[in-house]
Amino acid sequence: MKTNDVIIQFTAKIVFFIIFFFSIHIFLAGHYTPGGGFVGGLLTSSAVVLLVLAFDLNTVRHVLPINYTYLTAIGLLLALATAAFPMFVGKPFFTHFFDYFNLPLLGKQSLHTAMLFDSGVYLVVVGVTMTIIQTIGEDE
Amino acid sequence: MNVNQMIEWAAVILILIGSIVSVISAYGMIRLPDVYTRSHAATKSSTLSVLTCLLGAFIYFWVHDGFVSVRLILGILFVFVTAPVAGHLICRAAYRSRVPLAEGSGEDELKPKLFPEEK
């Protein structure tokens, strides 16, 4: 008998976007309020896990064709590059820079290179969590 | 007593109502006989209690600190959307793994649809 999963699938479609945008918010607000790359990455991967629960592993892999191993590698490279960049301009390892910019629509904002390091952390957390869950989930 | 204080009292009363409803929900979890009636008590009234508590906290921060917390609104929306679905899924899993209904319950219309082979 074919099971009927309309309610959870429809809810998962809506709730995925709530969780995903909240994770982006947590990630961007991490410099001044609680949050940051780690929590944001965990929230993003939990949104993807919700899709995996409601639908199927192969469906989600078809919708989000991401190789999470590469995502982890990109995150590690980004973090290492951010940490190593000051060495080439004569500063110690891991020196961060910041400055104020007038962005369109957003006004005067401070941009900090810790953000790049944090996005590396974000990518690594998403990649590692999703790799673990996919590896366990597709084990027949 | 000015307007701000009155609105703060409204927030306080909302939080009080929320906690009372949550206690009622806990009593329902203890007193009711089977899974389905218990999940009825657990999802509906605790959702309402969480919603009123969050609304009270939102109003309090808005009036007292002048801080509009989008996270609380998002939390209200999120709980309102997800808690009934969670209750539905738990009940459904219970029914499909053949947890019996309480004694004295009347019609069971789902049974001939879901398990037509047994009568």
Nearest CA in chain B to A17: B78
By Cβ distance, the residue of A11, A18, A22 closest to B85 is A11
Give pLDDT, residue A2.
63
In chain A, residues with a C-beta closer than 8 Å to the C-beta of B88 are 7
Give pLDDT, residue B119.
57
Strand partners for A112: A98
B71-111 tens-digit pLDDT: 899 999 999 999 999 999 999 999 888 888 888 777 777 78
In chain A, residues with a C-beta closer than 8 Å to the C-beta of B74 are 18, 22
A89-132 tens-digit pLDDT: 888 888 888 878 787 777 787 788 888 899 999 999 999 999 99
**Structural Rg of chain B based on CA atoms:** 19
The pLDDT of residue B19 is above 90: yes
Burial of residue B18 (number of CB atoms within 10 Å: 0-12, 13-18, 19+): buried
- CB proximity list for A120: less than 8 A, separation 6 or greater: A37, A75, A76, A77, A78, A79, A80, A82
Q: Which of B110, B100, B114 is nearest to B37 (CA)?
A: B100
Give pLDDT, residue A139.
67
Cβ within 8 Å, pair A15-B78:
yes
Helices and strands per DSSP (H, E), number in chain A: 5, 2
**Mean pLDDT rounded to a whole number for chain A:** 88
In chain B, residues with a C-beta closer than 8 Å to the C-beta of A11 are 81-82, 85
B57-71 tens-digit pLDDT: 999 999 888 888 888
Q: Give CA–CA dist B50/B77, Å, rounded.
A: 11
Cβ within 8 Å, pair A18-B85:
no
Mean pLDDT confidence for A40-48? 94
A122-137 tens-digit pLDDT: 999 999 999 999 888 8
Cβ within 8 Å, pair B81-A15:
yes
- How is B16-50 classified by DSSP, letter by letter? HHHHHHHHHHHHHHHHS-SHHHHHHIIIIIHHHHH
A18 DSSP assignment: H
